[in-house]
Amino acid sequence: MNRLLMSSVFAVALSGCMFYSMAGSIPPHISSIAIPLVDNQTAEFGMAEAVTDNLVEKFTEENILRVRDETDADSILRGTIIDIKDAPYTYTKAEAVTEYRFTVSMKIEWFDVENDKALFEKNFSSFGAYGLSGDISTDGIDNDGDGLTDADDDDEFGDAREFATEVAVTKIAEDILNEIMTSW
């Protein structure tokens, strides 16, 4: 290949890499995030704490942004739980409920402190499933959406509704973290 063609190919490849890395990275001046207690506009007790704790845990585990106090953070993640639904989802032919879905819906704003502007505002929703038997290890439902049920799923145990709540809260925290990592 001639030298001019090779330089052109290299320049195109390099610019593509630079575009990708610029499009796939968090703004350079942001290295930390504050996650204050989310607002809960529902009657579901303890949800604000559960969602906030899960968000802090996910961000701490991934270590993409350091979790800081609001006075020391470059960005702030504000959330509002806007809806909780605990409703029948699956029925038998005789119209008996066999599966419920516990769904959490919330509004999130990721705020850039230095530039005094929202980086994004989005709604997120996630759910966990449970049956009426009360024993999620034998209910025949994929309670956490991982493709496994009952004896084949080693993490399906405990109170059915509590487990579904935990699954919904964990999924929503993962979705928010993924949105921050992939939208920049």
Residues 6+ apart with CB under 8 A from 158: 136
Q: For 129-172, write each residue's pLDDT tens digit.
A: 888 766 666 666 676 777 777 677 667 667 778 888 999 999 99
Same domain, yes or no, for 51 and 10?
no
First-last CA distance in the chain = 36
Q: 66 with 33: CB under 8 angstroms?
A: yes
Domain that holds residue 5: 1-28
Identify the bridge partners of residue 32 per DSSP, sorted by sequence position: 66
Integer Cα distance of 156 and 163 in angstroms: 8
Backbone angles phi, psi at 116, to 5 degrees: 50, 50
Same domain, yes or no, for 95 and 22?
no
Low-confidence ranges of the chain (pLDDT < 70): 1-24, 133-141, 143, 150, 153-154, 156-157, 184
Looking at residue 23, what is its pLDDT?
A: 41
Looking at residue 2, what is its pLDDT?
A: 47
Same domain, yes or no, for 90 and 176?
yes
Same domain, yes or no, for 108 and 64?
yes
Tokens standing for residue 80? 């509002």
Same domain, yes or no, for 95 and 144?
yes
Give the CATH number, domain containing residue 82: 3.30.160.150
Looking at residue 21, what is its pLDDT?
A: 35
Same domain, yes or no, for 14 and 99?
no
Same domain, yes or no, for 21 and 82?
no
Looking at residue 137, what is its pLDDT?
A: 67
Same domain, yes or no, for 16 and 55?
no
Same domain, yes or no, for 38 and 70?
yes
Same domain, yes or no, for 81 and 68?
yes
Integer Cα distance of 148 and 174 in angstroms: 19
Same domain, yes or no, for 100 and 60?
yes
Q: 110 with 27: CB under 8 angstroms?
A: no
| Domain total in the chain | 2
Q: 92 with 83: CB under 8 angstroms?
A: no
Same domain, yes or no, for 8 and 56?
no
Looking at residue 156, what is its pLDDT?
A: 67
